[in-house]
Amino acid sequence: MRYFTKQQGQKEAVPVDLEPLGNDQFKITVGATTYQVDALALEHGTLSMLVDGQSYNVEFEENGDEIGVLLRGQVNRIDVADERRLRLRAANAAFSVEGKQLVTAPMPGKVVKVLVKVGDEVKEGQGLVVVEAMKMENELKSPKAGKVTELFAKEGTAVENNARLVVVE
């Protein structure tokens, strides 16, 4: 199965081919690089993975077409679309981010730094807020170029999963 992935701040989607080999093993090709993966599902959306002999624990959280991935203490937001959905998006010209965008907390944590204020002009991929979760700091970035119109994040406050942090228009 072919998917197209795009991390926040990335301009172009990257093709990812996933081929099940049986017994929880997969061949995954990302761009021009192929990996042999042995994946074992654990509790709460966590996978224990052997990728080309290297061991990783990876946590996933789905939110529509977007998947939050916690790997090596870093949370990444990745937009995932199969070929059909990508064609639909292209037909609607909706693959790029448009309109008012709400940036939310990827998991429960604490706001350790607010990098913007209301009225600031921001670039796509620019850091907005730093949230500490699971003893790691995660810089949440702007999904588009625009203006910060609302700011809910306050340094030192605890936030729940999907808590509203910043709105960029």
Report the predicted TM-score, pTM, of the whole model to 2 decimal places: 0.48
Distance CA 30, CA 15 (A): 6
Candidate from 14-18, 20-24, 62-66, 71-75 with smallest mean pLDDT = 62-66
For the segment 62-119, what is each residue's pLDDT rounded down to a tens digit?
A: 777 788 888 888 888 888 888 777 677 666 554 456 788 999 988 899 999 999 999 9
For the segment 105-118, what is each residue's pLDDT rounded down to a tens digit?
A: 888 999 999 999 99
Distance CA 5, CA 67 (A): 10
Using the 3D structure, point to which of 39, 54, 84 is the last residue of a domain.
84
Residue 96: predicted pLDDT? 57
Candidate from 27-31, 41-45, 157-161 with smallest mean pLDDT = 41-45
Residues 10 and 33 in one domain: yes
Task: Render 13-66 in DSSP notation, one character per residue.
Answer: -EEEEEEEEETTEEEEEETTEEEEEEEEE-GGGEEEEEETTEEEEEEEEEETTE
The residue ranking higher by pLDDT, 85 or 163, is 163
Give me 57's structure tokens.
Answer: 């624990």
Q: How many domains does the chain have?
A: 2
Domain that holds residue 48: 2-84
Residue 94: predicted pLDDT? 43
Residues 71 and 103 in one domain: no
Residue 124: predicted pLDDT? 87
Amino acid at 27: K
92 in a structural domain: no
Residue 90: predicted pLDDT? 63
131 and 106 Cβ atoms separated by less than 8 Å: yes
Distance CA 104, CA 163 (A): 5
Using the 3D structure, point to which of 84, 115, 146 is the last residue of a domain.
84
Residues 152 and 104 in one domain: yes
What Rg value do the Cα atoms of the chain yield, rounded?
17
Residue 113: predicted pLDDT? 95
User: Integer distance in angstroms from the first to the last C-alpha of the chain?
Assistant: 35
Helices (H) and strands (E) in the chain, counts: 1, 16
Phi, psi of 122 (to 5 degrees): -125, 155
46 in a structural domain: yes
- 25, pLDDT greater than 70: yes
142 in a structural domain: yes
